[in-house]
Amino acid sequence: MKIGILSDTHLYEITPEFQQQVHDAFADCPVILHAGDLVQPAVLDAFADKTVYAVHGNMCGSETKAILPPRGSWIWAGLKWDWPMATGLWILRMAYGPVFLRPM
């Protein structure tokens, strides 16, 4: 199973371009981790057919902070994943492009 990870979408609404990018990048990812700074919770509607785990970031408004936690924890493949882990994600994204976690 592939898990799609993204952060820092900084959107107030879903644009057609964003919806297309979501489809292209995450079509075969049934689970999405959004590691913060989505800004508005409506952005998560782009992942309506996925299981989504999300946290808020420092750029999120009070509406988003009221419904999303500042940190998340998830157990998958026998391992505990804690996020946000933005620094590590940025390094992986810069070095390798989109990051997908797969069981070994």
* CATH code of 19's domain: 3.60.21.10
Summarised one tens digit per residue, pLDDT across range 13-48 is 999 999 999 999 999 999 888 888 888 989 999 999
Residue 19: closest CA among 40, 48, 41, 39: 48
* DSSP for residue 49: T
Q: Assign 32 to helix, strand or coil.
A: strand
- Edge-to-edge strand list for the sheet holding 51-54: 51-54, 31-34, 3-6, 100-101
Domain range holding 82?
Answer: 3-101
Number of domains present in the structure of the chain: 1
Supply the pTM of this predicted model: 0.72
